[in-house]
């Protein structure tokens, strides 16, 4: 057996690119991406709900006195935010599925984003003030 490299007349043929399906249609991948996005909305809503429980119930129970109501209000706000995020995520997922079936593009609803963003900023500012005042 020879240890010298063999010379090749022609390089091997480059394989044809593979498509997700035979027609090269990306709608299946798009549906899967949409599904992952809905799951991200659900995880975010669940996280806000966990924050609601921690801030509204656990923190007041761990404190050595002082007013508990600001933490309860803040926790309720995060609970509302969590519910809103989940509701919009499920709605958005359904609308994206419809748009994919119809072959059209669907943008985010600016009003929903403004509401969720405003509520998030408001809760963050309220939490900041509560932390500074309660320190």
pLDDT in tens, 7-56: 556 656 766 655 555 566 677 788 888 899 999 999 999 999 999 999 99
**CA 92 – CA 14 distance, rounded (Å):** 41
If one counts every other C-beta atom within 10 angstroms of the C-beta of residue 79, the result is: 18
Query: Long-range contacts of range 103-111, CB-CB < 8 Å, 24 or more positions apart?
Result: none
**Rounded distance, CA 101 to CA 34, Å?**
12
Q: What is the pLDDT of residue 6?
A: 54
Cβ atoms of 74 and 51 within 8 Å: the answer is no
Using alpha carbons only, how large is the chain's radius of gyration in Å? Answer: 26
Confidence band, pLDDT 50/70/90 cuts, at residue 1: low
Domain ranges of the chain: 30-134
- pLDDT tens digits, residue range 81-126? 999 999 999 999 999 999 888 888 888 899 999 999 999 999 999 9
Q: Which two tokens stand for residue 47?
A: 């996280």
Closest CA to 106 of 114, 119, 115, 97: 97
């Amino acid at each position: 057996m020879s240890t010298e490299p063999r010379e090749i007349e022609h390089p091997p043929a480059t394989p044809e690119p593979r498509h997700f399906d035979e027609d090269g249609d990306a709608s299946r991948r798009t549906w899967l991406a949409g599904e992952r996005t809905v799951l991200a909305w659900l995880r975010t809503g669940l996280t806000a709900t966990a924050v609601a429980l921690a801030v509204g119930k656990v923190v007041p129970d761990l404190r050595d006195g002082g007013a508990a109501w600001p933490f309860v209000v803040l926790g309720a706000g995060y609970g509302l935010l969590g519910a809103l995020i989940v509701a919009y995520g499920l709605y958005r997922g359904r609308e994206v599925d419809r748009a994919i079936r119809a072959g059209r593009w669907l943008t985010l609803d600016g009003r929903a984003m403004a509401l969720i963003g405003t509520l998030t900023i408001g809760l963050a500012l309220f939490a900041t003030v509560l932390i500074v005042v309660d320190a």
